[in-house]
Amino acid sequence: MDFKIPKEIKHPQQFQKEHAVFVMYEMLQDIFHVFEGGYTNPGWNETIIKDLLHELHHQMVFLNTTVVEKLGEENKSQAYSGTILPLKSYYLRIWTYLEAKEYSSCAWTIVREELYWNFSFINKLKDKFQN
């Protein structure tokens, strides 16, 4: 399944530091919503999912209070117009896929692999711009 990750996301070296923070925040928020809305998958440990949701929420709060608020609306608007809107469409495709497949185990396996890639990308961004 190809959810068509936005091409801008595939090239983190093109991001300005300020935009990268908004991208990371948005990705964490959207991943949170994917799991929050449909994690009832047979065979998944509910405690682990709740812990994941808690940690994602914690990271979003941290980013928001330490970085996002300080960067201002201008940087946020630039990030949204260039990268965030296509990113939101990407997560909508993931969500729509899960719904269409009625949150089946097979669908979750595919989405889980996609989200693993997302976490890998977030880590690359964090490492690149950590300062």
Expressed in angstroms, the distance from the first to the final Cα of the chain is: 36
Q: Please tell me what DSSP assigns to residue 67.
A: I
pLDDT, residue 40, reads: 59
CB 75 within 8 A of CB 22: yes
Q: Which residue has the higher pLDDT, 66 or 60?
A: 60
Nearest one of 56, 16, 10 to 33, comparing CA atoms: 56
pLDDT in tens, 67-124: 666 666 666 666 666 677 888 899 999 999 999 998 888 898 899 899 988 998 888 8
Spatial CA neighbour of 95 closest among 110, 80, 117: 110
DSSP state for residue 2 in the 8-state scheme:
-
Question: Token match 């065979």: residue?
Answer: 43
